[in-house]
Every structure is written in structure tokens, then in C-alpha cells.
Amino acid sequence: MLNKRRLLGLDPGLRITGWGLIESENNRLHHVANGTVSTDSTLRLSERLLQLHDGLAAVLTKYVPDEAAVEETFVNRNPKSTLKLGLARGVVLLAPALHGLKVAEYSANRVKKSVVGAGHADKSQVDMMVRRLLPGCEPENADATDALAVAICHAHFSATGSRWEDALNAASR
């Protein structure tokens, strides 16, 4: 049974949000595209959030993913930075939802564990495994690499969830 899905991974940030798009076909993963959406730090916060939304909307319109996944935010020591990141994360969650997509969320440790095998892997290990799992992929930068890792994580976990759901539906008939 062929089950091909386009999955968008998102790594939220107010300054730079990474995005990575893969196709998951049964147990095979294929790189489609990756990049970042940047905001102008000289603008007001509301204008930066609009830039973020518009950039993500352009990616969603161009590539038409089937599902999206977002990395959960960790808490910083600086409350002001945490609040701004939370606002950016809200936009990152909202943009795919406005396009009718289901949006999953994964902790950074879960993403790293699903891609590298260790929840506390460093960025170089994540980068190496993303390139290995998606041959020919050249991520734009670390933010795009992290977003691709989120998409890979979602491919693994959503496929399992879909199989469970299918089995439960079949059993209830």
C-alpha cells in the first residue's frame, strides 16, 4: 500500500524560523526543499510577526504540504526573550493551521532521539544524520537542518500513529 505524504517541519524563531519539507513514502524519506524565514529586527514586533506569517504562508502555498510539525520551545533564562519566542511560535503554529493542516508538536529531545538516537545529541550529529537520512540534501543552515529533523521525527511518529488508528478502526467494524 502506497502512503505518500508531504511533511513540513518548522523550527520556530523570531529572528529566523527554519523550515524543511520532506516526502514520506511508506518507510522512505525524500528531501523536497528547505530554507528559512527571516524577520527584520529594526521593525516593531507586530510587523516582524507579520513578516514571519507571510513568509510561512508563501512556503505553504508553494509546496502544499499534507501535515506540519513544530519543535516545542524551551524556556530561556531571559523572560523577555522567552515571551518573544513564544509569540513567534504562535505564528508558526497558526500559519499551517490556517491552511487546514494538522500540526504536531515535538520536544527537542524527542526530535534528536528519533533522528540521531540520543536525546542530547549536538547540532553536528543532527546535521550528519539529516544528510544521511535525506541523501543529496544540502540544508541552508542550522535552522533549516533542525526543521528537517522535525519533519523526519514527524514522519516516524505520525506513521506509527496512523497505523494504530487504522488498526483501531478496523477492529471496531
Q: Which of 67, 71, 127, 146 is catalytic?
A: 71
Q: Which of 67, 127, 143, 146 is catalytic?
A: 143
Verify whether residue 143 is a known catalytic residue: yes
At 164, is the secondary structure helix, strand, or coil?
Answer: helix
Determine the straight-line distance between the first and last CA of the chain, rounded to whole angstroms: 20
List the 16-25 sheet strands across, edge first: 28-38, 16-25, 4-11, 67-71, 102-106
Verify whether residue 71 is a known catalytic residue: yes
Helix (H) or strand (E) holding 173: none
Q: Please give the torsion angle defined by the CA atoms of residues 54, 19, 27 and 164, in that order, rounded to the nearest 10 degrees.
A: -60
Q: Which of 11, 67, 127, 146 is catalytic?
A: 11
Mind telling me the catalytic residues? 11, 71, 143
